[in-house]
Amino acid sequence: MAKIGIFVIGLLLLCNLETLAKAGYMVYKDPKKPIRTRIKDLMRRMTLEEKIGQMMQIERKVASVEVMKKYFIGSVLSEGGSAPAQYASAETWINMVNDFQKGALSTRLGIPMIYGIDAVHGHNQVYKATIFPHNIGLGATRDPELVKRIGSATALEVRATGIPYVFAPCVAVCRDPRWGRCYESYSEDPKVVQAMTEIVSGLQGDIPVDTPKGIPFIGGKEKVAACAKHFVGDGGTTNGTDESNTVINMDGLLRIHMPGYYSSIAKGVVTIMLSYSSWNGVKMHANYELVTGFLKNTLRFKGFVITDFEGLERMTTPYHANYSHSIEAGISAGIDMVMVPWNYTEFLDDLTLLVNRKIIPMTRIDDAVERILRVKFVMDLFENPFADCSLVEYVGKQEHRELAREAVRKSAVLLKNGESADEPLLPLPKRTSKILVTGSHADNLGYQCGGWTIQWQGFSGNNLTTGTTILKAVSNAVDPKTEVIYKKNADADFVKSNNFSYSIVVVGEHPYAETDGDSMNLTIPEPGPSTIKNVCGSVKCAVIIVSGRPVVIEPYLAIIDALVAAWLPGTEGQGVADVLYGDYGFTGKLPRTWFKTVDQLPMNFGDPYYDPLFPFGFGLTTEPIKAIYSS
């Protein structure tokens, strides 16, 4: 009897242990299970509050371990210019992101959060990161493979700071350069924009060939989740006014503004961001027909749809008026994640009420959460929620700076080179007695980089990050015996009183971003025009235009000997000197039409009465000096 009793007790104990083991086992935490099985298991465990928490993305300034835990926050972001500290190191970024992650993982279900940041031309908010040319310059290269490599380098630098998600690329088709975001667009031509979506594969990795259409993909811990933006038609607004109305029929919308999304989805893009703008009077953040009907159902996009910053608040005039209605309209249209970014308790309360009152069905919430969780599982966040310091060396890595320099020289477009092909000014001689470098943009790294660099609107000067100005690049390129004289704003008397062999004049736009960049005149601010007239009227001159779009240049063209569109080249100004001095030839082609006067706008290739100063695709070429000598 004693032996039987011991056996029975042992059997009961074994059964209890097995039951306890089963109770502790959660399918969603098992990486061996299919993602769809893990999502289903996790969602059946979640409360409404936990589900709505996943749908919220809050700004880092209001995030904390306590907030993440209390409200089940699904995502955190850095808005433009938002960093843990000025000159913050990669380690500082990592520690901040990991602290927020600890809060997310300490919740009942331990769902990891995802941190997002704008990395629109490199890891642009981080000190000492490599800043690549803005998209308009990359469009001038016509080199999708180069753009893919830039995506890979950017992914490494972003991951080096512990961040797995970027709000890039912008696949807008800018149809009017008066738009303040035109430099975020690769081209006025949807075919060029479509080709440049190779950056998605650079950021996320190459999607396996057998992946079903619309399924999001991330290729490992050295890649990031990308975000195609801003869906859809943001580059076609009337007069180029930011966040306004795009008036076009469905055929035109699909033909001009949609191709970048077709290609991005085919490459497995993980998220898509909605535009502030409207289509024929309907706000994109409330457009069920396009967001759910076309993007989710027709294109079968299975990632998540995210708002732009305060996208719901900005649906109404005045701002934040009838917020509950904006939430209802946006979530019903098909929005999955909301950049709240400050009023997260108000959003939680209002959406909870809308669901409880059955104004928004639970099926819509479940669709949103399923999409968000799918992305998190695809990113392996459940298995690898924390960042480490193993990649910190990639921030500003020399190989990435060399890549950026390559992009700068390939993006520069030569618009004029002497009065005739028989008398070119470029390439310039490296060895001569004395040269002048002048202009507001010659020695200003902030101007050179443009908006979305360290700060949202960009900056002026050379103190907020590291790189090579065009002045420094010229000094590096010329013979040591050549005297380089720099005068920020040279006047005619100064030029005439010196015996300069030639001059390099670097002028252009001041940095801007979004609506602050909207311009109805597109003129170069003073003293840029005065510097051109003072210098080019007195000595041979090569004028370098640093701008995010074509600007008014026709009145000065006759006195300019050589004219180069350098766009917004970023931190590696040496690439400009590479082509000025013939180490490499000019190969860039205009990614958009260069107008004579703003009265012609909007004007795009193929329009009737097309009469540009320089047409779309224009760009003179030069041979490298070595090639000239060897021929």
Positions marked catalytic:
308, 514
Cis peptide before 232 (omega within 30 of 0): yes
Query: 189-195 — which CB contacts under 8 Å span 24+ positions?
Result: 189/591, 189/592, 189/605, 189/616, 190/255, 190/256, 190/257, 190/259, 190/260, 191/259, 192/139, 192/142, 192/591, 193/139, 193/259, 193/260, 194/259, 194/260, 194/262, 194/263, 195/142, 195/144
- β 483-487/338-339 pair status: unpaired
CB proximity list for 493: less than 8 A, separation 6 or greater: none
Q: How far apart are CA 186 and CA 260, in angstroms?
A: 10
* Residue 488 to residue 417: CA distance in whole angstroms: 24
Kindly give, in sequence order, each residue whose CB lies less than 8 Å from that of residue 210, ignoring residues fewer than 6 positions away: none
Q: What length does the chain have?
A: 631
Q: Which has the closest alpha carbon to 133: 146, 114, 117?
A: 146
Cβ atoms of 72 and 50 within 8 Å: the answer is yes
| CA separation for the pair 306, 555 (Å, rounded) | 44
- CA dist list (Å): 537 to 22, 491, 496, 530, 561: 85, 10, 10, 11, 10
Spell out the alpha helix ranges (H) of 320-444: 323-333, 344-356, 362-378, 398-411
